[in-house]
A and B are shown apart, each in its own frame.
Chain A
């Protein structure tokens, strides 16, 4: 009894389908193995039997009449450029290209948004409003700007923001910072207003301290400004919300609008995303249909 593997090798040998090495190896085995030789003999005998079967002649002609042919298919151009398959392929390619383009645009926009948000040199309204101010004034201005942009976070951001305001007042106490204090006081009412109103009532004594320090070091005009700040500091939390909504100083307002406009410009564009998704879905659907057409054609062949 020979193995299935040996029988497969013998079968290929009978058909002349063995490679040179396998054929030589088998012939060497055949000279020693009688069972293998008998199996080979039977294989050849059966192959001859089947090959000598008489050929069956067709009992009739299987030709088609014109009516039959017309009912099977209408004459058409063969494999032309505008065949279904080619049209589907072209449509799939165009849809994919559209998808890639829209995706690229969307990604470019997102990248610009991220870059702008992360850029250290972004100009904020507060910074421009007090270009001469030192670090303390800048912090106050920036804080005010942030609070102006996001009033809904004012209550949360309030207590920490109170410190810069205190610092602004304290800055007035520095004899070398008269101009700084003046700048902060002159250009920053709206910012300070926001900062103070964002602060809790505990900030008031600190501001009062700052006011006193300012009185000691600055002229009367500046003292009046600080007094005005002090009066505004007495505002209730209810008025705080209103203060955030109050218009900015003339110098700061255009910049704040400009910043808002930039933010609006960099908002994710829902229309582009919608079109991108639609193009992607279309490309996928067309690719699936094209594959189905290809498989049908392949099956027919």
Chain B
């Protein structure tokens, strides 16, 4: 994919070029939004808003990492969605279900097609526990933790995607991990072997 060429064409109003960029990045964008928002519906709304915003502001894009530029729009869309959610407290049945963890439809999409029923259930349980811990983090810590530990961004990419200084990223990530450690303490002993580090390797 000729990303710079597609970006130039999209800046000139070529919708097809923009849609090719959307298809290339939509899984990443949705996944980030899903981990930040904690439910599929909000993640979908935030992702859609992010791509609309990206198309609107694309003429102002002046080079650099397109991925970081797009992720910044996605995280901003998530913040907006979280603020909307706070203004309108959840009252619907769907929202009540979401409070207990990621919705089942999303969890099915998270499972690998090769997994057996027991493994699928196990993965769902672990994923649900981790997502619960993420949901209980303050928003600013959650964004940094998702980008670093879930998506594997390095500190520079996180700084570009959030507009934070490197030092802030570092300290915010440390505090997020400290909170996650406390939250995951009870879950850790129940983890399947695939999630465990060998004692010899770690201590």
Contact = CB atoms under 8 A, between A and B. Distances in A.
B12 A62 contact: no
Given A15-B155, A47-B149, A57-B27, A72 B202 contact: no
Interface string A65-86: 1101100111111110000000
Contacts of A51: 149-150, 152
Contact of B174 (A11, A46, A59, A63): A11
Q: How large is the interface on B (under 10, 10 to 19, 20 to 34, 35 or more residues)?
A: 35 or more
Interface string B16-44: 00110011001101110011000010011
A55 interface: yes
A42 B26 CA distance: 32
Contact of B127 (A17, A53, A300): A53
B153 to A, nearest CB: 10
Contacts of A65: 15
Contact of A78 (B11, B47, B106): B11
Interface in B63-118: 64, 69, 72, 105-106, 109-112
Contact of A76 (B59, B62, B170, B199): B59
A216 to B, nearest CB: 98
A148 to B, nearest CB: 70
Nearest to B170: A12
User: Which of A38, A42, A53: most chain B CB closer than 10 A?
Assistant: A53
Contacts of B184: 46, 49
A41 B109 contact: no
Contacts of B44: 59-60
A8 interface: yes
Contacts, number: 165
Contacts of A79: 11, 59-60, 62
A17 B199 CA distance: 24
Interface residues of A, number: 50
A44 B203 CA distance: 11
Contacts of A47: 149, 177
Interface in B117-146: 123, 126-127, 130-131, 145
Contact of A74 (B13, B31, B110, B171): B13
B110 A11 contact: no
Interface of A: 4, 7-8, 11-12, 15, 17, 34, 37-38, 40-66, 68-69, 72-79, 297, 300-301
24 contacts: A4-B174, A15-B154, A17-B155, A41-B199, A45-B195, A46-B177, A46-B181, A46-B184, A47-B149, A47-B177, A49-B184, A49-B195, A51-B152, A53-B127, A54-B127, A55-B27, A56-B30, A56-B43, A56-B106, A57-B109, A62-B22, A62-B51, A73-B13, A78-B11
